[in-house]
Amino acid sequence: MTNAGMKKIFISDIHMGDERSQAGPNPYGWFRSNISNLANFLDEQLDAYKASEVSEVVILGDLFDEWVIPTEQDPLTSFQAICNNPNNAQVLKPLQDLAEKGILSYVPGNHDMALSTTNPDGNQQFMEQNFPGIRYLADGVYRQGSLVAEHGHRYCLFNAADTWTNLPSLLPLGYFISRLVAHKVSQTGKPENYYDILIKFIGKYIDSPNFVKDVYEGVAGDAKLNDSDPIDMHGIPGFPASVGAIGTLYEQLIENWKQKRPDIDWKTAMYGDGVGDLSLAASQIYFFFTGSDQNIIIFGHTHKADMRKHYILEAAPGVANIHLDLPCRAIYANSGAWIDTALCTYVETREDAAAGCHYVRILNYPDKKLLQEGFVKLTG
């Protein structure tokens, strides 16, 4: 079967949780009401594959959620409890069917980051055993010609894997911020947007000499947690088990980032967290450097479906608009999310050899309304 002209589908940020996250008077999980939506969507992609319309489904991270757990509960250290949640069964089955057909690829994200310090390859082993045929991209990058796709968290100050604070664990400060917010939701029953809270305190403390610790303590205070309140870290060794001690542990985050991450400066990484926009990071990493041959970049992580188009011909002075039928020099697309508070969206790409074009579209589901589109010229 040829892939010419067939679509590739990119989704991200499902955030399936264990049974605890959906139970009780104040469920704190992010993915509940959209479970049936996603199950139907995945079944449709399987049918489209059988009809030679779709060649691949790529999940760009955060299929599972090991982060959104209140501070007073045991953390998750594997995906098993999430797969054991009977509410998730209707999503797991079509995923297994897609994997069996050899058309499911998986790029790990941050909320499904391996937590085990004794088996760092545990997540890949679990995925390959439970979804036979899946293509697990352990390096976190999907590549196909001039198209590159990632989850995107690697370029975010609070959410990139932390390789300096508490090795061999890679948990960043964002993990603990997620747990603080989950505690608040479990106590109040009111849904909260993690990014809105984080952005609020980034803006408040942007000029503080103790910026990182102040942001963390601001989120903790918003959740009505004190420094002495415990954080249950059972099964994840090496971390202090109180709210205040965690803030102290990560207070040198910016200095460590400067030393360990020469690929992207910390202010750009903070922008990704503080604004929820990774297009600047995508441009720095992939588009605008000598010799780059990438012209389509797809990220997730921010939960905001978006498209940024860089045109070959920039508008001349006095020209108000660029015609939409012109090819782009490069396209950044964000696949959005499937969590309950988001519009369910996905990215669709298709190469048209006859026209010499590579199309990128963002659509919502279940309406399948076209939200944004653009195209680049095929290379090679």
Cβ-contact 12, 337 below 8 angstroms: yes
Query: CA-CA distance, 200 to 309, in Å (whole number)?
Result: 28
Q: How far apart are CA 14 and CA 112, in angstroms?
A: 11
Does the structural domain 1-151+293-380 have CATH classification 3.60.21.10? yes
Residue 317 has pLDDT above 90, yes or no: no
- Name the least confident of 116-125, 132-141, 191-200, 365-374: 116-125
173: phi then psi, degrees, rounded to nearest 5: -65, -30
Give the type of residue at 252.
Answer: Q
Q: Give the model's confidence band at 2: pLDDT under 50 very low, under 70 low, under 90 confident, else very high.
A: very low
Mean pLDDT computed over 274-284:
92
Q: How confident is the model at residue 244 (pLDDT cuts 50, 70, 90)?
A: very high
- Structural contact between residues 174 and 322, judged by C-beta atoms closer than 8 angstroms: no
pTM of the model: 0.94
| Nearest CA-CA partner of 12 in 140, 100, 123 | 140
**pLDDT over 90, % of the chain:** 84
pLDDT (tens digit per residue) in 336-370: 999 998 999 999 999 999 999 999 999 999 999 99
Question: Quick check: 325 pLDDT over 80?
Answer: no
Report residue 143: phi and psi, to 5°. -130, 135
Are 331 and 295 contacting, i.e. CB atoms less than 8 angstroms apart?
yes
pLDDT at 113: 87
List, by residue range, all CATH 3.60.21.10 domains of the chain: 1-151+293-380
pLDDT average, residue stretch 102-131: 90
Q: Express each pLDDT in 15-47 by its tens digit.
A: 999 999 999 999 999 999 999 999 999 999 999
Task: Please write the tens of the pLDDT for every residue from 63-97.
Answer: 999 999 999 999 998 899 999 999 999 999 999 99
312 pLDDT more than 90: no
Torsion of Cα atoms, 132 then 133 then 139 then 145, to 10°? -160
- What is the C-alpha to C-alpha distance for residues 43 and 37, in angstroms, rounded to an integer? 10
